[in-house]
């Protein structure tokens, strides 16, 4: 199902032997636009550390009570390679962290967002092959914070059209399917969805996302209502309006 990232924020994170904190942020890979880590606010439990949780370890959430089960013990999480709370997540750290849990790397080794598999949970019981390379690739700078990107300006082909308000993510594959664009800068109150595949470029320095759409196209596109679930009927209308190939 497609979920709002804002909805997931502040969910309780429940390890196998107790609560560890709440969801503070999500880190996504800007090459595949896929959520790679949930960042936990652990309060006083592990102060000064950035605690990362992979979708590989997430269980089936209880959406009504806003609880995400984590298929790990608190001790297992505590003993994972540490990272200062303000430090970026480098590929070197990802390698150490992934080897600690014994999971295959999500980068390389397959055609999908999660390597050889479509869903991250499938990797939970897999063992990292001994001959898996530990070479650092060019992925070091590709993890982005959802919290930081929220608010980026959206640049159409002919004018600015608004800003990033939210993200819509598939809660099985953890692929970001849409950016929620708030157009109130020039269309009061209207929100629309734009798939990451329609992005021309992202200027991470100037906080700007350029999309391959005109302002008029965005103006006339199907409106997104945050109070309703994004279903396939809406998605069909959206893609048909733009005349773009569907992802499914």
| pLDDT tens track for 177-230 | 999 999 987 767 799 999 999 999 999 999 999 999 999 999 899 999 999 999
Q: Is 33 exposed, middle or buried (0-12, 13-18, 19+ CB in 10 A)?
A: buried
Query: Whole-prediction pTM value?
Result: 0.93
Identify whether residues 22 and 120 lie together within a single domain.
yes
Question: Residues 227, 230, 236, 239: is their CA dihedral positive or negative?
Answer: positive
More confident residue, 69 or 116: 69
Which pLDDT tens digit goes with each residue over 90-124? Answer: 999 999 999 999 998 888 778 899 998 999 999 99
Query: According to the model, what pLDDT value does residue 110 have?
Result: 83
pLDDT at 49 over 80: yes
| Model confidence at 136: pLDDT above 60 | no
Q: Which of 111, 144, 177 is the last residue of a domain?
A: 144
Regarding whether 114 and 44 lie in a shared domain, the answer is yes
Domain end marker among 144, 171, 186: 144
Among 15, 125, 120, CA closest to 76: 15
Same domain, 126 and 155: no
In a domain, 60, yes or no: yes
Give the range of the structural domain holding residue 232, as residue numbers without chain letter: 150-242
Residue 201: give its domain's CATH number: 3.90.50.10
Q: Looking at the structure, tell me whether residues 57 and 127 fall in a common domain.
A: yes
Residue 207 lies in a domain: yes
The mean per-residue pLDDT over the stretch 59-87 comes to 94
Q: Mean per-residue pLDDT for 58-82?
A: 95
Of 119 and 126, the structure prediction assigns the larger pLDDT to 119
Give the number of domains in the chain. 2
**Which residue, of 124, 144, 164, is where some domain finishes?**
144
Residue 248, in any domain of the structure = no
Q: Tell which wins on pLDDT, 246 or 142.
A: 246
- Asked if residue 139 and residue 22 are part of one domain, the reply reads yes
């Amino acid at each position: 199902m497609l979920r709002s990232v804002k909805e997931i924020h502040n969910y309780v994170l429940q390890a196998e032997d107790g609560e560890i904190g709440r969801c503070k942020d999500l880190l996504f890979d800007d090459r595949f636009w896929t959520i790679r880590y949930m960042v936990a606010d652990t309060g006083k439990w592990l102060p000064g550390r950035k605690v990362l949780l992979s979708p590989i370890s997430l269980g089936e959430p209880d959406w009504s009570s806003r609880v995400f089960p984590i298929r790990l013990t608190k001790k297992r999480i505590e003993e994972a390679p540490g990272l200062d709370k303000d430090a970026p997540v480098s590929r070197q750290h990802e390698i150490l962290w992934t080897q600690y849990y014994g999971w295959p790397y999500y980068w390389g080794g397959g055609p999908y967002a999660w390597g050889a598999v479509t869903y991250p949970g499938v990797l939970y019981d897999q063992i990292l092959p001994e001959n898996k390379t530990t070479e650092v690739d060019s992925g070091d700078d590709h993890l982005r914070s959802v919290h930081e990107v929220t608010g980026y300006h959206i640049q159409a082909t002919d004018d600015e059209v608004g800003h990033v308000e939210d993200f819509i993510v598939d809660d099985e594959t953890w692929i970001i399917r849409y950016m929620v664009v708030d157009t109130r800068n020039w269309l009061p109150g209207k929100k629309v969805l734009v798939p990451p595949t329609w992005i021309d470029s992202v200027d991470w320095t100037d906080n700007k996302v350029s999309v391959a759409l005109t302002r008029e196209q965005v103006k006339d596109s199907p409106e997104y209502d945050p109070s309703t679930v994004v279903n396939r009927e809406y998605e069909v209308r959206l893609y048909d309006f733009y005349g773009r190939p569907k992802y499914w």
